[in-house]
Structure 1
Amino acid sequence: MTDQRKLTLINFGIVLYFVLIYLAYYFQLDFQLISVLGELLSIPLLLAQIVFLVIGIRFAVRKKADILMIVSLLFLGICTILTFSGFF
């Protein structure tokens, strides 16, 4: 598996996590397992959003990135903006 493929999968994984957290909040799903996973993974994935966004942009600028990589970076950027705008 190439580095570009790994980075694309990581980006989509982070976006999927925050979409699922938002949907659980929106539909008011109050399960203990969802709460525990949300507490354990939220802060590390908040930091991972920024790190992988920077890594992805540097990778896309230095090497030729395919369309799936660009889409994953766009989704991650939008997810990062929405996530951090919720704090302010």
Structure 2
Amino acid sequence: MPQGLPFHLQDYVQLVDITGRAIREDKRGFIDNNLPPILERLNISSREWLVLTTQFESKFKGLVGCKEKLMLAAKALGLQRRPAYANREAIFH
């Protein structure tokens, strides 16, 4: 079996989106037909998604999230150093 998905990422995301729209409204995973595609709703480009799915562990060594949530998590965990934002900013500009 090939490493990873045997088709292009964009095709896979589109498949997930189409499947969610085909699921009955009262079932888990349902996506309303009036909603834009998944990556558009998340404001993530195809390039950003590819980096996240193929390089996540090498790009993010600790906490991951928006800057405000990272600061709250660091405080709650009693971390002495603030979480790094450089990799997140490089991916989500």
TM-score (norm 1): 0.28
| Structure (1 or 2) with the greater helix fraction | 1
TM-score (norm 2): 0.27
